[in-house]
Amino acid sequence: MKYFIFHTSFCGSTLLACLLSKSINTLAEPSWACLPIDQVDFNKNHIDGQLVKYPSMAYQLIPNIDSKIVFLYRNFDDHLNKLESVREINRKEEAFLWSLRFSYATQAKDIIFIESNYFLNNQKETCQLICNYFGIEYKPIEINFHVKDAGYLGKDTVINI
């Protein structure tokens, strides 16, 4: 079984991947997952028993997956507000992308939806819920650093905290 994290961007997905990394071998946006969609071959690169957090742009893969998926998302208003706090955005374009990602997620065969604010306020409970969904043992860890600054994104090796 392969395990997946998809997300709407800027919602805590890298933190989630890091928090689950002691429970399951986890990669966060490895180089092969960041290729153009028509070149991503998760059957070749994504090995059984592994969790991979895909970039937010990979949402089109979701309907073709026969494994367990976590979809982490910010609610619509929070999503737009978060993006605006990070950079200048085109609200209509970002609204369209948010709805498109969500629409693809609703086509998944086996998915659990996790709202970002719930996750950020209940990290251990959320990780336990996800591990139960995956059917694996939850091994809690504490993270007291900014995970994106730690260099876990884009590596082709498992996260090791």
- Please write the tens of the pLDDT for every residue from 120-155: 999 999 999 999 999 999 999 999 889 988 999 999
- Please write the tens of the pLDDT for every residue from 22-68: 999 999 999 999 998 888 887 788 999 999 999 999 999 999 999 99
Provide the CATH number for the domain formed by 3-150 in this structure.
Answer: 3.40.50.300
Which pairs count as long-range contacts for 122-126, CB under 8 Å and 24+ apart, including other chains?
Answer: 123/15, 123/19, 126/16
